[in-house]
A and B are shown apart, each in its own frame.
Chain A
Amino acid sequence: MQYITLDNETDFDGWREAARSLVLHHVQPTNVAWTVQGRDAELFAPQAPSPILAVNDGSFKVSGKFVDLAKAAILHRDPERFAILYRLLWRLKDNHDLIEVATDPDVALATAMARAVHRDEHKMHAFVRFREIGRERAAHYVAWFEPEHHIVELAAPFFAKRFADMPWSILTPELCAHWDGHSLSFTPGVNKSEAPGEDRLEETWRRYYASIFNPARLKVKAMQAEMPKKYWRNLPEASIIKPLIEDAERMTGAMIANAATDPHKPQRRPEAPMTRKTAANDLEALREEAAHCRACHLYKDATQTVFGEGPKSANIMLVGEQPGDKEDLAGHPFVGPAGQMLDRALEEAGVDRKKVYVTNAVKHFKFVPRGKIRLHQKPNTPEIKACRQWYEREVSAIQPDLIVAMGATAAQSVFGKITPIGKNRGRLIDLPDGRKALVTVHPSYLLRLPDPEAKALEYRRFVEDLKIVAGLQKKAARAA
């Protein structure tokens, strides 16, 4: 039998060194007894602790996961933990993957211990309550806490990083942690009477606690599951929990029973919001009106109406299909990837972007949500028809000479009927009202082409189409 005595309850390095040596000397787990200096003295009194056997060159590997698990589990208060971890280590030596087997009893036991330790650490971070001694610059903050496991050293750095600019001490029965503004130190445990009994802010805190809780939704079990009663005795707010609960039902009943009082007549301030700004011109008025359009159901899930943009004096109007994700969020047409593609092509073709009016056949984004993204959907004929009124009114406000329909949806709106792109693209077509129309592809079609060669080719054709626009723009500029 080997008797191993560790320096203290959290002596991971001592355990590790001993365990390593024991494994290398093939000492069966059943032949090892573990204890800690000063604990259970009488039990082991007859035996002197065994010297740690010297290790020659032998070594073996264990996974980092085990090391993390052991570092945490060793802080558990169960005296058996050293033996359990040694048994696990012994078995891991020949079965590396064992650590992944959640159903193994030793793995499950060690994991449960580590989890309990981390939970206790988390609760310490949460439930330590500092009390101020002295004021202002001379203040020192002292807390009393009773952890369940040996976690003070584990939990202390958190407080050092959080409250770096104030000196504090956390007193516990086993070990006390101190921060002087520069470094952490530890001293032996003390009695609760050493800790300050109150703080000037506790009454304020209790008032906050009482006010933030909604008596109409009492859920006492849920509260206790997260804040077990064993922590209550050191929480200043706990003293009012019982009266609050007792009062809650009465208060809720009273709220429900009490007839509402006569409404107070609010006095509106003159600068109260929600005043509509009046439109500067007919295009502005149109935009404002369209923002409230409900002519089809597309408005429901979209963020906003994305109306056309550009100078009222434009003699060229570009019509796209419908706004995409980015346009929907920003409220402006052609600001997403397709918009960037369009800008580039316009520039290459020699069209002055600032002088054209850009809009869409359908003014709301149509999509289906898929988790965190929105999948673009093609508008159908009823939606295109419902939205055509806006297009028509834009045309009559702008009075363009040339309308460029980009993509099938746009063509359908511009010609008032389904109009295939392939057959009609790249030439000027007369519209019934005397304007000219030009049909081409939508820039997002270019973005979707997977083959780079086809993409380059199609992009050239698109630029060629736009050069017709550039020609007309120049002609109009000369005429003006």
Chain B
Amino acid sequence: MDVQRKLEILADAAKYDASCASSGTEKRDSSDRKGMGSTAPGMGICHSYAPDGRCISLLKVLLTNACNYDCLYCVNRASSNVPRARFTIEEVVKLTLDFYRRNYIEGLFLSSGIIRSPDYTMEQVVGVARKLREEHHFRGYIHLKTIPEADDALIAEAGKYADRLSINIEMPEEASLQQFAPEKDVRAIRRTMGRLRLKLDEAEENRVAKTKARPQRFAPAGQSTQMIVGADSASDHTILHTSSNLYGSYKLRRVYYSAFSPIPDASRALPLVQPPLLREHRLYQADWLMRFYGFDVGEIVDDSAMLPLDIDPKLAWALRHRDRFPLDVNRASREELLRVPGFGTKAVERIIATRRTTTIRLADLARLHVPRNKALPFIVLSDHRPSPHRLDAAGLIERFKPKATQLGFGF
């Protein structure tokens, strides 16, 4: 089988992993001319976008799509009839370097079906990273998928080469993992996340304390995970509760939500429907509220409830807490401002800097990049005060519901 055909099979097999980020790592470049590559400070670079709206920043492939496990939701499960392929370590290395040289990608995201044993599989995955870093002095971004329960020495080596490590939690609840992936063990996954966090903490402590001359490097872009949404019956509350637990326990950089989508040669036990993309989007918004806006899960969505699909979770929260509004933009605290619908973190910073010298007026909202329609019922400005009935009006929610739109493509 030629490399192009392998690439088709093994990229196809990797596309259900939502993670794409190449951000948040240490700063590196190749100005010493010993190798090639650099990392973008701050955010990574999306080199292209696919028609599914997702960023392409890494060569995202599996080393092999052969797998011993038979997870129902997975296109690569042992009982699936998809064509199989396996890259050699050299082939992945060459593809990565060739693509990188043409500026198609920021680096590599390598994962693998589990073959023979977790240690054997992990060793292969680490082998690619080792070759890229040690033989080719590749300085670009590397994200490796960790195999649960792989040997500690392999995990340590993976962290030495990789910018980010990840291990997918797969399902929001243990019961659904048991149902869909009977051979996977949520405890093993969590134990591995715990081990990663201990290593990340240690590297961080060494870095801060500068105790050792050259502290052991360990995945500077941290760890992430993915959860499949919509294959089981877990509520949004359950999903967000699991995320908040994972963030707190393992200091994950990101939890990715992947709306379950039909896969070729799907198992008969699965719902074959269009993926719930809007639900996925609302979960990302809610996740954002937890990480950057100081919201607790319980504030975002009630026990065992679902997020509303027609309006975003922050607006939904504000509508449930009308008694806290309207807020005076020229006086309110940062925490309060962050809770106004339509106010992003950057807009809040701009507001706080601006109001030190001048009063904010209605006409200023556009320059602050605040969507007027969304915010106005909730705020007081020096020349604006929403009518007192406005917030009570039963029709308020109607005002925010989006007009029916269609996905179109204009050529």
Contact = CB atoms under 8 A, between A and B. Distances in A.
B103 A130 contact: yes
B194 A331 contact: yes
Interface in B327-349: none
A143 B409 CA distance: 29
B118 A273 contact: yes
Contacts of B351: 102
A217 B275 contact: yes
Given A102-B350, A241-B51, A266 B70 contact: yes
B40 interface: yes
A235 B49 CA distance: 11
B402 interface: no
B126 interface: no
Given A162-B29, A235-B48, A129 B103 contact: yes
A331 B32 CA distance: 43
B274 interface: yes
A219 B51 contact: yes
B53 A141 contact: no
Interface stretch (B154-162, B212-220, B242-250, B312-320): B242-250
B187 interface: yes
Contacts of A252: 262, 274
Interface stretch (A93-101, A186-194, A398-406, A456-464): A93-101
B48 A227 contact: yes
A238 B159 CA distance: 35
A418 to B, nearest CB: 30
A374 interface: yes
Interface stretch (A6-14, A52-60, A204-212, A424-432): A204-212
* Contact-size category for A: 35 or more
Contacts of A181: 33
A76 interface: no
Given A161-B38, A265-B79, A166 B407 contact: no
A217 B259 contact: yes
B352 to A, nearest CB: 9
Contacts of B266: 255, 260
Contacts of A141: 101-102
Interface in B222-279: 244-245, 247-251, 259, 261-268, 272-275, 277
A138 to B, nearest CB: 14
A220 B4 contact: no
Interface string A352-379: 0000000000000001011111100000
Given A216-B262, A261-B265, A264-B81, A304 B50 contact: no
Interface in A234-278: 235, 237, 241-242, 244-245, 248, 252, 255-256, 259-261, 263-266, 268-269, 271-274
A303 B174 contact: no
A182 to B, nearest CB: 8
B407 A219 contact: yes
B42 to A, nearest CB: 11
A237 B11 CA distance: 15
A220 B51 contact: yes
B59 to A, nearest CB: 7
Interface string A298-314: 00110110000000000
A215 B408 CA distance: 15
A273 B117 CA distance: 5
A329 B197 contact: yes
A17 interface: no
B116 A214 contact: no
Contacts of A218: 51-53, 407
Contacts of B14: 212
B358 interface: yes
B15 A213 contact: yes
B8 interface: yes
A222 B46 CA distance: 13
B367 A103 contact: yes
B45 A329 contact: no
A300 B242 CA distance: 10
A203 B3 CA distance: 12
A226 interface: yes
Given A101-B354, A211-B15, A127 B47 contact: yes
Interface string B162-198: 0000000000001000000001010100110111011
Given A220-B409, A331-B191, A266 B114 contact: no
Contacts of B265: 260-261
Nearest to B349: A102
B16 interface: yes
B31 interface: yes
* Contact-size category for B: 35 or more
B36 interface: yes
Contact of A164 (B36, B55, B195): B36
A226 B49 contact: yes
A328 interface: yes
Contact of A300 (B29, B38, B174, B275): B174
A128 interface: yes
Contacts of A372: 247-248, 251
A479 interface: no
A274 B266 CA distance: 24
B197 A164 contact: no
A201 interface: yes
Contacts of B261: 214, 216-217
Contact of A221 (B38, B45, B294, B407): B407
Contacts of B183: 274
B92 interface: no
Interface string B104-140: 1000000000111110000000000000000000000
Interface in A279-302: 291, 300-301
A148 interface: no
Contacts of A209: 48, 50, 56
Contacts of A119: none
A303 B48 contact: no
Given A101-B357, A218-B51, A255-B262, A271 B193 contact: no
A347 interface: no
Contact of B31 (A100, A161, A242, A269): A161
Contact of A373 (B7, B38, B54, B248): B248
Nearest to A371: B248
B90 interface: no
A221 B49 CA distance: 11
A263 B79 contact: yes
A396 B34 CA distance: 63
B248 A370 contact: yes
A369 B248 contact: yes
B65 to A, nearest CB: 12
A163 B36 contact: yes
Contacts of B357: 97-98, 100-101
A248 B51 contact: yes
A24 B54 CA distance: 52
B274 A273 contact: no
A13 to B, nearest CB: 25
Contacts of B273: 256
Nearest to B20: A212
B299 interface: no
B285 interface: no
11 contacts: A97-B356, A102-B353, A161-B30, A214-B16, A218-B52, A223-B52, A226-B46, A263-B267, A266-B70, A271-B117, A371-B294
Interface of B: 3-4, 7-9, 11-12, 14-16, 29-38, 40, 45-56, 59-60, 68, 70, 78-81, 95, 98-99, 101-104, 114-118, 149, 174, 183, 185, 187, 190-191, 193-195, 197-198, 244-245, 247-251, 259, 261-268, 272-275, 277, 294, 350-351, 353-354, 356-358, 360-361, 364, 367-368, 407-409, 411
Closest CB pairs A-B (n = 8): A219-B53, A222-B53, A369-B248, A266-B78, A213-B50, A103-B364, A263-B79, A329-B194
Given A162-B38, A207-B4, 13 more contacts: A105-B367, A160-B31, A165-B34, A212-B60, A213-B52, A214-B15, A256-B272, A259-B268, A269-B115, A271-B117, A273-B68, A300-B174, A301-B249
